[in-house]
Amino acid sequence: MSLTVVDNPITNHYLSILRSRHSNSETFRSAGRRVALSLVHEAARGLLEDEIEVETPLEGTTGKRISQGIVAVPVLRSGLGMIDAVLALLPNVSVGYVGVARDEVTIKPEEYYIKLPDMTGKKVLVLEPMLATGGSLAYAIARIKDRGGEDITAICVIASPAGVERLQEEHPDVDIVVASVDRDLDYRYYIRPGLGDMGDRLFGTV
């Protein structure tokens, strides 16, 4: 498993807007999309390509085209905030969904919805903005593997060290692309310093 922290001025700029408690839902969504675009760019490294012949206005040349099918799987609900970035950048994308709620007492994941396309031979991008305890993401990845997913990358905005460690233990074959690994978790299992509840801030349900 590889852990890639996307550290560049553009990502850092918009991540700071996401973190700010003063960002309203519209500002938050806009900044989140820009961070997601940066993360998807990084996650796309290694996608299979074919060489193609291209005619420019001046002459023929050789170009490249992404040839590998891609499946994007947002973990509901906050993962929905990242799907536009995938669809904007990548061709040949199918979309699946895994709905997982965290029991606030036991902190265990509870599945309430799953719909996945055929993933044979495809790159699977699992979209989970907040990798806190890692329980929901680890569960979602296990279900994806049950349905045939093999080449899997998790795309997260912010992770905790505990969440990264759990994913490394349970899914050592899964790569992680993240904008920041933050300090720790608080007593409610929120990432600190974090950005609060991603889903609530995305959809204005704070």
- Which CATH topology does 3-203 take? Rossmann fold (3.40.50)
Mean predicted confidence (pLDDT) in 165-170: 97
Domain boundaries defined on the chain: 3-203
This prediction's pTM: 0.94
Radius of gyration of the chain (CA): 17
Question: Which residues does the annotation mark as catalytic?
Answer: 102, 106, 197, 200
| Integer Cα distance of 30 and 15 in angstroms | 11
CA pair distance 46, 104, nearest whole angstrom? 38
Residue 54: half-sphere exposure toward Cβ, Cα within 13 Å = 10
pLDDT (mean) for 132-155? 96
Cα 42 from Cα 78, distance rounded (Å): 20
Cβ partners under 8 Å of residue 8, min gap 6? 38
Averaged pLDDT score across all residues of the chain? 95
For residues 164-188, give the mean pLDDT. Answer: 96
